[in-house]
Amino acid sequence: MSETAEPRRACPSRVLRGVAIFEGWLTPERQAAMISDIRGVVAAAPFFQPETRFGRKMSVRMTSAGRCGWVSDRRGYRYERRHPSGAAWPEIPAAVLAVWAKITGLERDPDCCLINYYGAGAKMGLHQDRDEADFRWPVLSISLGDSALFRIGNVERGGKTESVWLQSGDVLVMGGEARLVHHGIDRIKMGSSALLKDGGRLNLTLRVVD
């Protein structure tokens, strides 16, 4: 792997437990254009409701774009080359890749853009993103739609946590020592944004997988 795996980041507006947050990075116009792109992705690879390896349905719906997509079912957490329907994942939209390139400064594109939709009552427990082969590559997350209460913990499970509200258009990066911090979404503030017609939040998470 090249030495460019360590991101040359743009300047974040705040850093919380090593997680770089770029508040309001996307203008309303860019957010609307990106939503249009994501609709195209969802048309080709529809949302599905994943379940944990213990058979419990998750409260989010998800799909992916890119060379591979992240899936979860009773077989475990993993990346697959195809959507559960058997169709190929669509390409990651250029506008999404542009955010990755500008903020991380990396020449390599991500392999996967995981797209999670949070509706009323949806949340995500504290977890690590660790299904990738090399943790030196950062994870970048884009928030679109209703605000989400994002909780950041520690690399080791347990201990004190901190929370921050992520607004539509915010971007964050988990890299370096913060690459494996536990994190999750406690709740969604429904109706806080008019970006999505039916409300809710879209979270785009970009990862280098191999």
Domain extents in the chain: 3-207
Whose tokens are 């990755």? That residue is: 100
Give the separation between CA 50 and CA 204, rounded to whole angstroms: 16
- Looking at residue 77, its pLDDT comes to 94
Mean pLDDT of 153-166: 97
- CA neighbor of 34 nearest in space, from 208, 202, 165: 202
Helix (H, G, I), strand (E, B) or coil at 30: helix
Helix (H, G, I), strand (E, B) or coil at 5: helix
User: For residue range 171-202, what is the model confidence (pLDDT) as tens digits?
Assistant: 999 999 999 999 999 999 999 999 999 999 99
Mean pLDDT, the chain, integer? 95
Task: Tell whether the model's pLDDT for residue 44 goes beyond 80.
Answer: yes
- CA neighbor of 84 nearest in space, from 93, 75, 92, 96: 75
Q: Which amino acid makes up residue 182?
A: H
Q: Which amino acid makes up residue 197?
A: K
- Looking at residue 6, its pLDDT comes to 46
Q: Does domain 3-207 have CATH number 2.60.40.1930?
A: no
Q: Which amino acid makes up residue 73?
A: D
Residue 86 backbone class (left: φ over 0; alpha: ψ -120 to 50; beta: rest) = left
Residues in CB range of 195: below 8 A, 6 or more apart: 28, 31, 32, 35, 144, 145, 168
Task: Tell whether the model's pLDDT for residue 2 goes beyond 80.
Answer: no
Mean pLDDT of 2-9: 47
Measure the CA angle with vertex 53, ends 148 and 81; round to 5°.
Answer: 80
pTM of the model: 0.94
User: For residue range 60-115, what is the model confidence (pLDDT) as tens digits?
Assistant: 999 999 999 999 999 999 999 999 999 999 999 999 999 999 999 999 999 999 99
Q: What does the DSSP assignment read for 175-193?
A: -GGGTT--EEEEEEETTS-
User: For residue range 124-147, what is the model confidence (pLDDT) as tens digits?
Assistant: 999 999 999 999 999 999 999 999
Half-sphere exposure of 190 (CA within 13 A, CB side): 11
- Looking at residue 9, its pLDDT comes to 54
Distances (CA, A) of 9 to 26, 37, 128, 176: 16, 25, 21, 11
Mean pLDDT of 43-71: 96
User: For residue range 9-26, what is the model confidence (pLDDT) as tens digits?
Assistant: 579 999 999 999 999 999
- Looking at residue 21, its pLDDT comes to 98
DSSP 8-state symbol, 131: -
Q: 7 falls in which pLDDT band (50, 70, 90)?
A: very low
Task: Tell whether the model's pLDDT for residue 4 goes beyond 80.
Answer: no
Return the biggest CA–CA distance within the chain: 44
